[in-house]
Amino acid sequence: MKGISLIAATLVVLFIGIFSILIVSFFFKYHLWYTIEYTYQSATEDLVLLSLLNTECSGKKVYEIISMSSINDFSISDSDLSCIEDKLDKLSASNCYRLFIEKSDSAEKDIIHKGSCPLKREVCYRIALPYGNDLVSNICLVLGD
């Protein structure tokens, strides 16, 4: 009897110990995995925006199209807009994003807006505008999960 209860007690302690460690490890690992994944995604946004600004629509870089559009209050022709949207669709591979300009009066002017995502990550770069009162403006990309 004594032998049996010793073995049983040992098994219980082993079970509790290992199970606790596994549960704790699981939560820690999940947290770490999530953070790594999130950081990876943030770096991706930079690359998506930079790649977008570097691509060409109607013979001009998207950077130039957007910065030159400041002459007409950031109005972009329909053909250029659909080209930018097409490029962004391919680069982001996301169902929801928002590309916008922060104007000098702090107002935000949407260039393209697609879908609505609860969790969003944003990246902004300074873009040079043609000479004027405000020389640079922020071009921002918000990507959803």
Partner 1 sequence: MKSKMKGLIGIIILGVATILLGGAIYLSTSVGVQKSFSIALKEVYILKAINQLESIKQFLEYPINYSFSQAIYTVAKQSGYCNYNPSVPQESGIYYWRVKSSTYFPDYIGSLEKCLKKYLNKYADSLNVPEYKEVKIDENEGKISVITDSMMSKSVDTQTIDATIKANPNRTTYFDKKVLSSFKTAKRLYIDSDIIKTAVLNVIKNSCKTASKKYSCSECPKTPSQVHDDVCGASWKSETESKIKKAINSLNGIYGDVRIEHDIKYIDVSYSGTCDHTYKYKKECYQKCENIDGEEICNTVCYDVCDYCIASCKYTNQAEVKVLVKVYYPASDDKSLFYPVYDDGKRKLSKIVLRFYVRETIIS
Applying CB under 8 A, the residues found at the interface with partner 1 are: 2, 5-6, 9-10, 13-14, 17-18, 20-21, 24-25, 28-29, 32, 35-36, 39-40, 42-43, 46-47, 50, 53-54, 63-64, 67-68, 70-71, 125-133, 135-136
Q: Residue 135 CB: number of other CB atoms within 10 A?
A: 11
Distance, in Å, from the CA atom of 130 to the CA atom of 127, rounded to the nearest integer, reads 10
Smallest gap from residue 112 Cβ to partner 1 (A): 20
- Give the total residue count for the chain: 145
∠ CA 89-93-96 to the nearest 5 degrees? 75
Take residue 120 and report the two structure tokens written for it.
Answer: 């969003």
Smallest gap from residue 110 Cβ to partner 1 (A): 20
Smallest gap from residue 61 Cβ to partner 1 (A): 8
Minimum CB distance to partner 1 smaller for 97 or for 139: 139
Minimum CB distance to partner 1 smaller for 32 or for 93: 32
Closest to 123 (Cα-Cα) out of 34, 39, 31, 37? 39
Q: Is the dihedral of CA 121, 50, 88, 127 positive or negative?
A: positive
Smallest gap from residue 2 Cβ to partner 1 (A): 6
